[in-house]
């Protein structure tokens, strides 16, 4: 650049950032530099971003503190590749992709663009739109990794899924069924028809019945609730079974307590996983996995989306749609 020449303008984008840690009201729209695709990365124009409990928990108190500058929430992304960085052969501009990049480090999905490692994404299933694709990665990968890798679930085994109508739960029910398991789910009575429609073999109303008195001899418990659900779940496992906790390491029963029942208890944290994303996509394309949308909001209403999610009464997933970045607003379903 010669004397008197100005530096080229840096492309800008909209994003949602917390002004501080706190309630939903701290989320504000900002303008920030658009990222670029580094070596091994792709730049994705975001069409939709999933909303997960980890988002509002991080917004409340900072989470693990693995944030960039500025802080931009969100991990679930579905969109179109705009650019591919040095050495990327997996995707090229124009490809439609979805994924959960960088977790638990900042992905910045609540924005018009995301740049991240190419292998943190997979091709979006052609049978679903970007809104449904954005609802899948974190919850779908969590269920897939926990059932197939952590628990090594096999056909004919019995699985108990707590909060079975939730984001992770309703996908776990379907994935477990696709693996040939017998699936029991806990949920409010009003959600039982939904779960039975997904293939659950038994459903228990946790507001009226004690699941620990109703269930016996399961091989795997998937617990997205936490609190006393972990300790109460140990007696329902058969010897050699496993309790997989998703809420917090603090909710995992001590090893010694689990050992008294002849079982294991672990905390699992989902990881970016190209192979896992492809497996989830394959189940979608085969018609064996569908995501339930509870509500869809535009990006600028992320605070409303968090308020809705924190109500604890959702069925399925919440998604943000993103406009700008050369795109148009996607059709949204009304929030309940």
| Residues 107 and 194 both lie in one domain | no
H/E element holding 272?
none
* Mean pLDDT lowest among 109-123, 278-292, 311-325: 311-325
3-state DSSP assignment of residue 28: strand
- Which residues on adjacent β-strands are paired with residue 318? 51, 295
Q: How confident is the model at residue 306 (pLDDT cuts 50, 70, 90)?
A: very high
Backbone angles phi, psi at 101, to 5 degrees: -70, 145
The reply to whether 258 and 147 lie within a common domain is yes
Is the same domain home to 261 and 209? Answer: yes
Statement: residue 3 has pLDDT above 50? no
Residue 285: CA atoms inside 13 Å, Cβ hemisphere, count?
10
In terms of domains, do 150 and 81 share one? Answer: no
- The domain that holds 236 is classified in CATH as 3.40.50.720
Structural domain includes residue 244 = yes
* 262 in the same domain as 175: yes
> Containing domain of residue 94, as a range?
12-136+291-321
Query: Both 49 and 125 in a single domain?
Result: yes
DSSP secondary structure, 178-211, as one string: HTT-EEEEE--GGGHHHHHHHT-SEEE-TTTS-H
Q: Report the domain count for the chain.
A: 2
119 and 149, same domain (yes or no):
no
Mean pLDDT for the stretch of residues 271-278: 97
Same domain for 191 and 107: no
302 secondary structure, DSSP code: H
pLDDT per residue as tens digits for the range 44-82: 999 999 999 999 999 999 999 999 999 999 999 999 999
pLDDT, residue 324, reads: 52
Q: Per the structure block, which two tokens stand in for 290?
A: 């569908």
| Same-domain pairing of 152 and 213 | yes
What is the pTM (predicted TM-score) of this model?
0.92
Output the six-digit token pair for 199. Answer: 């293939």
169 pLDDT more than 50:
yes
Q: How many CB atoms are closer than 10 A to CB 326?
A: 9
**Token pair recorded at residue 269:** 């944290």
CB 333 within 8 A of CB 293: yes
CATH code (residue 34):
3.90.180.10
Alpha carbons 253 and 238: distance in angstroms, whole number: 16
Domain shared by 124 and 143, yes or no:
no
pLDDT at 9: 58
DSSP codes joined into one string, 111-150: BSEEEEEGGGEEEPPTTS-HHHHHTSHHHHHHHHIIIIII
CA distance 98 to 215: 37
* 6 pLDDT above the threshold of 80: no
Q: CA–CA separation, 120 vs 315, rounded Å?
A: 27
Q: What pLDDT is attached to residue 211?
A: 96
Inside any domain, residue 118:
yes
- pLDDT for the residue numbered 174: 98
User: Which of 267, 283, 311 represents a domain boundary (last residue)?
Assistant: 267
Q: Considering the chain, what is the average pLDDT of its residues? A: 93
- 204-248 confidence digits (pLDDT tens): 999 999 999 999 999 999 999 999 999 999 999 999 999 999 988
- Grade residue 312 by pLDDT with cuts at 50, 70 and 90: confident
pLDDT per residue over 129-153, tens digit each? 999 999 999 999 999 999 999 999 9
Which stretches does DSSP call E strand in the chain? 12-18, 27-33, 41-51, 76-84, 96-99, 113-117, 121-123, 158-161, 182-186, 202-204, 218-223, 237-245, 264-267, 293-298, 317-321
Instruction: Specify whether 117 is located in the same domain as 157.
Output: no
């Amino acid at each position: 650049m010669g004397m008197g020449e100005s530096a080229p303008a840096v492309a800008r984008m909209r994003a949602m950032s917390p002004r501080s840690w706190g309630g939903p009201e701290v989320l504000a729209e900002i303008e920030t530099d658009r990222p670029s695709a580094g070596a091994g990365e792709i730049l994705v124009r975001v069409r939709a971003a999933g909303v997960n409990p980890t988002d509002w928990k991080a917004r409340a108190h900072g989470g693990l503190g693995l944030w960039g500058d500025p802080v931009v929430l969100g991990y679930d992304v579905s969109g179109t590749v705009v650019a591919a960085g040095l050495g990327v052969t997996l995707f090229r501009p124009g490809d439609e992709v979805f994924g959960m990049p960088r977790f638990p480090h900042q992905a910045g999905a609540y924005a018009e663009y995301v740049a991240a490692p190419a292998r943190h994404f997979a091709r979006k299933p052609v049978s679903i739109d970007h809104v449904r694709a954005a609802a899948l990665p974190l919850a779908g990968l969590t269920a897939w990794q926990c059932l197939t890798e952590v628990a090594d679930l096999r056909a004919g085994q019995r699985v108990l899924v707590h909060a079975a109508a939730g984001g992770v739960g309703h996908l776990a029910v379907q994935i477990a069924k696709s693996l040939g398991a017998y699936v029991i789910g806990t949920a409010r009575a009003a959600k039982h028809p939904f779960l039975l429609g997904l293939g659950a073999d038994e459903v228990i109303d946790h507001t009226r019945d004690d699941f620990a008195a109703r269930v016996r001899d399961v091989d795997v418990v998937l617990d997205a609730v936490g609190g006393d659900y972990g300790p109460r779940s140990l007696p329902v496992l058969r010897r050699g079974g496993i309790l997989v906790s998703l809420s917090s390491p603090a909710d995992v029963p001590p090893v010694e307590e689990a050992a008294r029942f002849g079982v294991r208890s672990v905390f699992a944290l989902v990881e970016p996983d190209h192979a896992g994303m492809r497996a989830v996509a394959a189940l979608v394309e085969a018609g064996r996995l569908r995501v339930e949308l509870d509500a869809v909001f535009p990006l600028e209403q992320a605070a409303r989306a968090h308020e809705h999610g924190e109500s604890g009464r959702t069925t399925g997933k919440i998604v943000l749609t993103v406009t700008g970045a050369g795109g148009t607003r996607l059709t949204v379903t009304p929030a309940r």
